[in-house]
Structure 1
Amino acid sequence: MSSAGSTDAQRSFIEQARQAQIIRATIEVLAEQGYGAASFARIARHASISPALITYHFGTKDFLMRGVLATIEERLDDAMAGTDDEPDSYPDALKGMLERFVEHCWSHGEEVSAMTEIRRQARSESLRQAFSSSHDRGTAELVAFIEEGQAHGQFRDTDPALFASVLLVAMGEFSRLRGRSADENRRIAVEWASLFVNAISATTAPRDPGSENDEQDQ
């Protein structure tokens, strides 16, 4: 690699590290002090850097908050995706996804608080569009998953969009349900996930697609 290429790669690495540092500091300020207190000056003091450095990397508060949202949502998506092990059924897949969501929320409380602050307090058009795009994307993915489970006879015949909407609202409010002890948290996590798994799981065994042809031939 040329010297110029090495310098560019090093600069890129340093810039990414600095942006991550700023986003981390912003998350902490949002969680501790709220959206209104998350000025560049306060975030800079929290990160022990110059406010001008935040302006250099993000330009405006809106772009910084969009960067924070993108980071939090990416980490949450990765956590919910889980391992490479294939679940035994669609209800099992939904159960695992929801339990991983719960675990991530409770082990990354600052990120959840920061995301909640932005969604509730931000008023700019660009942030509203970011929320809308994220919501639409999450809804589409969940609807597709539900429809696939229905096609395999493992989810009951309900409106996928309605179920997805109710579940996403519940996920947005879940952080309020934290218990007073680790045991209570585990109980809440299991019961909360079970509510949605039981609500959509088919109550009868999946029908063999070939059975209809067999009956018609008789």
Structure 2
Amino acid sequence: MRTNNKLNKPENRSFIEDARRAQIVDCAIEVIATKGFVNTSISRIAEEAGISKGVISYHFLSKEELIQQVVMEVYQAGAIYMDSHMKGKVKAKDILKAYIESNLAFMGDNPKKIIAVTEILANARTKEGKRLFDVTANDQFLAPIIQLLELGQQDGSFRALSTFSAKVLATTIRDTIDGVGFQLALDPNLDLESYSKELKILFDLATRKEEII
């Protein structure tokens, strides 16, 4: 058994080790998405990958560390995907539409990743019983949306918002989008394109400036 975590540092890993870790993460996503988090074990992931449990233990110190890697990689992939779709947008109104659209488009292109992360967020707990991940009202996730709402007020796209109102709206936007992931887990045939259109209309109305008649 390894007694240190040096291998887990990217600068200490070889190309082959990185490839093996990526394979294990992909297999973990497959098992969690198809079997559910509560039915996922290192043994099942090893079976899916066609390797021994020892190989997984060599690359990840625990199931918890592997699960954290899954969530981190999916969020990073989502951020890269969304950035590419929002690139070139200047007006806050257009950026918000692209933000919503790219979120749901990523879900549509990567359903198993979304279902796996949804399973993890809902069920993963520490040994003490606390949720392993809690992104509810997390400032790290809300900050970009709040900044976007501020930009919209500056460029005239959005109505005036107090600090409190902006946080409420940002939380609603983020929670609504995250909720789509839970619905996708229940219904793999969910019409994400139509859902995206409705959300864009909804939040356009929520941020629109009142017209003076």
TM range (shorter): 0.7 to 0.9
- Bigger Cα Rg: 1
- What's the C-alpha RMSD, in Å, of the aligned pairs? 2.7
Of 91, 115, 125, the residue aligned with 1:89 is 91
8 A Cα contact 1:99 1:189, kept in partner: yes
8 A Cα contact 2:104 2:192, kept in partner: no
Residue in 1 aligned with 2:205? 198
Whole-angstrom distance in 1 between the partners of 2:33 and 2:18: 22
Whole-angstrom distance in 1 between the partners of 2:87 and 2:16: 35
SS at match of 1:174: helix
**Counterpart residue identity of residue 156, structure 1:** R
SS at match of 2:209: coil
Residue in 1 aligned with 2:170? 164
**Counterpart residue identity of residue 52, structure 1:** G
8 A Cα contact 2:123 2:131, kept in partner: no
| Gap change, CA 1:168 and 1:80, over 3 Å in 2 | same
SS at match of 2:125: coil
Paired residues in the alignment total 195
| 1:40 aligns to 2:22 (yes or no) | no
Q: CA deviation at 1:140?
A: 1.5
Whole-angstrom distance in 2 between the partners of 1:134 and 1:61: 26
Gaps of 5+ in 1: 1-8, 206-218
Q: CA deviation at 1:172?
A: 1.1
Residue in 2 aligned with 1:5? none
| 1:145 aligns to 2:148 (yes or no) | yes
SS at match of 1:131: coil
Q: CA deviation at 1:64?
A: 0.6
Gaps of 5+ in 2: 1-10
| Gap change, CA 1:112 and 1:185, over 3 Å in 2 | closer
Residue in 2 aligned with 1:209? none
Identity %: 29
Q: TM-score, normalised by structure 2?
A: 0.81
Q: TM-score, normalised by structure 1?
A: 0.79
Q: CA deviation at 1:197?
A: 2.4
| Runs of 4+ residues deviating >6 angstroms | none
| 1:15 aligns to 2:17 (yes or no) | yes
Q: CA deviation at 1:180?
A: 5.5
Residue in 2 aligned with 1:210? none
